[in-house]
Structure 1
Amino acid sequence: MKYIYYSIVLLFISSIAIGQEVNAEEILANTKREVEKGNYDKALSLIEPLRAKFPQDEDIQTYTARIYSWKKDYKTAIKILSPMTDRVNPNQEALQAIINVYFWTEQYEKCVVYCDKYLVLDAKSLEVLKIKATCLEKLNRDQEALELIEKSAYIDNSTQAFKGIRTLIGHKSKNAVSVSYLNVSTSEPGQSPFHYGYVEYSHKFNKSAIVGRANVGNVSNDTQALFEADFYQTFSNKSYLYANGGISTGETIFPVAKAGLEYYFKPHKKFDYSLGARFMHFESDDITLLTGQLAYTAGTYTVAYRPYYDTSNELFSHVLSLQKVNEEKESLIRFELQYGNVPYLYLYNNFTTPLKAYRAGIQYQHRLGESFFVRPIFLYEREEYIPGEYRNRFNVQLIVTKRF
């Protein structure tokens, strides 16, 4: 009789347990549906009783903490996760959850500590390795980040997952050297090509940068040089100031002296705009250009318009551009349409007359390795060289830059 009694009791208890298990699964399913809808408070109201009923179920504990973290109640999430992550044998899922919490809250030092704990359990986790490398970069421990990236290459025989981090580290380079060659040729009718080149050095400070440039031009067997400097100063509201000055050894290929100033205002939503002026002194004349820019950015694309107004000759010139940038690869492609006497680099002289000029150009930047950049530029021009007479003009330029 006792055997029958205990059998009935055990069967009853098993039935309750099975009912509870089914009920728990249903509650978790409903909780996940609410999470997918973004109803985190409703999800917590469903899972908290379940968490209280099964305090030893670490899957429920971890998922509850994740909901709190998605709700941005990071303090509660850490309180739930810490007992499971700070013991001798930490829970791997809880470690992953607390890594995310510390990363989202920009507590990079602590995030690195928990990444190390996780990597003891799974040394090949690309996700955690990437988070750790990102934290090291944010902490300016760039060399450690690069070493970690190199060590991680064996996982999939590449460092593809870390390209963005390497780019951020590359942006911190203080110095760069560039060399350029520009050939200007004409046809129908043609004349001897013009040759221009420059060597440039730039250095970045915390909130400013300075650039020194030596230009050389050869036109009709005459060679002249232009020495100039650029200065950039950024401000806390994300605006910045550009200034330029230079002097030359001649009077025809380059201006005797030049200066420029342009202020780039704080971006407004997706719009950027600036106002500025350029001044060029020639032996027999002075030229002042008023300029500015209005740009609109949508994702990786930027459309910009820049006018120039020559106050001496009362001439307007216009530049319309479309640019696509890949920030991770540090590459860009840019298309331009120009009309008028647009100053291409320093090529603006005192022989300007009200003649028409139509231009279309393309340029592309490509990064080689981590620190070399090449930028080919091509600009075609239909130029009115005397009233009513047109010729073809080709500007072909190559710029090579080394960052260090």
Structure 2
Amino acid sequence: MKFLYYSFFLFFISAAVLGQEINADAVMSEAKREVEKGSYDKALSLLEPLRAKFPEDEDIKIYIGRIYSWKKDYKTAEKILLPMADKANPNPEALTAVINVYYWSEQFEKCIFYCDKYLELDPKNADVLLIKAGCLERLNRDKEALTVLEKAYAVDNSNSKITGLQTLIGHKTKNAVAFSYLNISTSNPGQQPQHYGYVEYSHKFSKSALVGRANIGNAYNDTQMLFEADYYQTFAKRNYLYVNAGVSTGETIFPIAKAGIEYYFAPQKRFDYSLGLKYMHFNTTDVTLLTGQVGYRTGNYTLAYRPYYDTANELFSHVLSVQNTNEDTERIIRLELQYGNVPYLYLYNNFIEPLKAYRIGLQYQHRIGSSFFIRPVFLYEYEEYSPEKYRNRFNAQVILTKRF
């Protein structure tokens, strides 16, 4: 009988304990549903009695601390979470909750301290590395932030937030240098290849930028140079003015002097426009090109049309382009279809006749790390070099850029 008595007694005690556990789980589930609805106070009213009944249960306390942080009651959240984060063997969940409290409340130095404390336990946690890098960036400690981002990228190279923060830091840099080489070759019939290159330096100010560029060209058994400068003045996010001027050391490969101006503006959300002109002075004549652009943006794609009108020769040329841009990685893929005497970069001479030219071009920009870019460009032309006579023309270029 005693055995049966104790057996029944233990059964009822176990059932009661089990009931408490099930009840606790039910309360937590109900509280989470209230949190999903944004009813933070109701969720807290459910959890506070549970915390009083189980004062040593850290999961309950951590979740309550998180709710206070979501309510933006950061002081209360800090008071609840810090004892679990500061003990000798800190609770990792409490550490992540404290990290969020300090990041959201913009206490970046404290946030970095607890990020480091968490990374002692898990040095390859990409989320914590990203938060630490974000704190460093907000404190303008950009070099340290980039070092942390490299570690995060090594762990998770698919996280767009990592590459996005790298881009944000890169846009804050003031200086850049670029080097380019362009080769122009022809076939059927062929002629001696032409070689062009440039080196440029750019510096950004608060609302403007200045670029200096030295070009060199080797063509027609001659070598000449062109020195030019670009100036950009920003008026709004997508409204800016571009001005260009240059002089050369010769008369044939490059214009003796050149100048250009173009204004870009975006009065509508998806559309942007520009109007401009380019002027080139040669030894025998002058060339004036009227130009502009209309572009339509949808998602990561931009469809644009740009005409050129040569006023001296009364020639129209056309460029239709499609560009895909990934703003986080700064990757660009651009396809161009061209017809007529379109200036290829800075190249345009005074040997203009009403001859046909059809072109298709492809270019790609890829960022390596946070500050180095490589941009290959290829343009194929089927050009009428003499009336009713056509040949193939290949333009291959590579541009390397380093910003700092």
| TM exceeding 0.5 | yes
Provide the secondary structure at the position in 1 that maps to 2:47: helix
Residue pairs, 1:113-262, within 5 angstroms: 113-120=113-120, 122-148=122-148, 152=151, 160=157, 165-235=165-235, 237-262=237-262
Contact 1:24/1:50 (8 A) holds in 2: no
Native 8 Å contact 1:273 1:295 kept in 2: no
- Provide closer, same or farther for how the CA distance between residues 339 and 263 of structure 1 changes in structure 2, counting only shifts above 3 A: same
How many angstroms apart in 2 are the aligned matches of 1:111 and 1:263? 44
Q: How far off is 1:393 after superposition?
A: 1.5
Kindly indicate whether the alpha-carbon contact (under 8 Å) linking 2:68 and 2:76 is maintained by their aligned counterparts in 1.
no
Unpaired runs of 5+ in structure 2? none
Distance in structure 2 (CA, Å) of the matches to 1:181 and 1:395: 10
Tell me if the contact between 1:306 and 1:318 (Cα under 8 Å) persists in the aligned partners. yes
Q: Name the structure 1 match of 2:92.
A: 92
* Secondary structure in 2 matching 1:321: strand
Q: Is the 8 A contact 2:309 2:317 kept in 1?
A: yes
Q: Using a 3 Å threshold, how does the CA distance of structure 1 residues 129 and 191 change in structure 2: closer, same or farther?
A: closer
Report the equivalent of 1:348.
348
Q: Deviations over 1:187-213 (max 9, x none)?
A: 233333332222222223333322111
Q: After superposition, what is the alpha-carbon deviation per residue over 1:112-164, rounded to whole angstroms, capped at 9, x for unaligned?
A: 233234345545533212211221123211233345457x58xx976847655
Partners of 2:111 and 2:135 within 8 A in 1: yes
Shift of 1:254: 1.9
What's the CA shift for 1:379?
Answer: 0.5
What SS does the corresponding residue of 2:355 show, helix, strand or coil? coil
Q: Which residue of 1 aligns with 2:112?
A: 112
- Once residues 43 and 351 of structure 2 are traced to their aligned partners in structure 1, the CA distance between those partners, rounded to angstroms, is 80
In 1: Cα distance, 2:306 partner to 2:262 partner:
12
Q: Give the counterpart letter for 1:54 in structure 2.
A: R
Task: Confirm or deny: 8 A CA contact 2:78 2:101 kept in the other structure.
Answer: no
Distance 1:246 1:392 in 2: 30
Segment of structure 1 superposing worse, 323-332 or 24-33: 323-332
Answer whether contact 2:102 2:108 (CA < 8 A) is retained.
Answer: yes
Look up the match of 1:296. 297
1:49 aligned partner: 46
3-state SS of paired residue (2:253):
coil
SS at match of 1:62: helix
Residue in 1 aligned with 2:316?
316
Q: What do residues 287-315 of structure 1 show as CA deviations (whole Å, max 9, x unaligned)? A: 1322224141413x433332323344443
Q: Which one of 69, 76, 80 corresponds to residue 79 of structure 1?
A: 76
Amino acid at match of 1:40: G
1:28 and 1:47 in contact (8 A); partners too: no
- For 2:341 and 2:125, the matched residues in 1 are separated by 57
What corresponds to 2:379 in structure 1? 379
Residues 286 and 312, structure 2, Cα contact 8 Å, conserved in 1 = no
Distance 1:122 1:371, change over 3 A: closer
Cα displacement string for residues 17-47 of structure 1 (whole angstroms, at most 9, x for unaligned residues):
5434322312322444565xx4222x75345
- Assess, with a 3 A threshold, how the Cα gap between structure 1 residues 359 and 272 changes in structure 2: closer, same or farther: same
CA distance in 2, matches of 1:244, 1:227: 11
Check conservation: 1:81, 1:94, Cα contact below 8 A: no
Give the secondary-structure state (helix, strand or coil) at the position aligned to 1:289.
Answer: strand
1:334-368, Cα deviation, whole Å (9 max, x unpaired): 22111222111122223333332211011223445
Aligned to 1:307: 307
SS of residue in 2 equivalent to 1:344: coil
* Deviation at residue 245 of structure 1 after TM alignment: 1.0
Identify the residue that residue 281 of structure 1 maps to in structure 2.
Answer: 281
Q: Quick one: distance in 1 between partners of 2:311 and 2:34?
A: 65
The 3 A distance-change label for structure 1 pair 63 and 241 is farther
Taking the aligned partners of 1:106 and 1:310, their CA distance within structure 2 comes to 56
1:290 is matched by which residue type in structure 2? T
Kindly indicate whether the alpha-carbon contact (under 8 Å) linking 2:81 and 2:97 is maintained by their aligned counterparts in 1.
Answer: no
Q: Which amino acid aligns with 2:178?
A: S
Q: Could you tell me which residue of structure 1 aligns to residue 38 of structure 2? A: 40
What code does the residue aligned with 2:286 have? D
Distance 1:267 1:128, change over 3 A: farther
Deviation of 1:77 after TM superposition, in Å, equals: 5.1
Distance 1:270 1:82, change over 3 A: farther
Q: CA RMSD in A?
A: 3.6
- In 1, Cα distance between equivalents of 2:214 and 2:26: 74
User: What is the deviation of 1:216?
Assistant: 2.0
**Equivalent residue of 2:23, what SS?**
helix
Contact 2:331 2:364 in 1 (8 A): yes
How many residue pairs get matched?
Answer: 391
Maintained 8 Å contact 1:84/1:91? no
Output the CA distance in 2 between the equivalents of 1:101 and 1:305: 49
Shift of 1:52: 3.6
SS of the residue 1:132 aligns to: helix
Task: Say if 1:84 and 1:332 are closer, same or farther in 2 by CA, change over 3 A.
Answer: same
Give the secondary-structure state (helix, strand or coil) at the position aligned to 1:391: strand
CA distance in 1, matches of 2:364, 2:397: 11
**Counterpart amino acid of residue 206 in structure 2:** N
**Please, which moves more after superposition, 355-364 or 99-108?**
99-108
SS of corresponding position for 1:40: coil
* CA displacement 1:242-287 (0-9 Å, x = unmatched): 2211112233322222222223335854544433332223342241
- What code does the residue aligned with 1:80 have? A
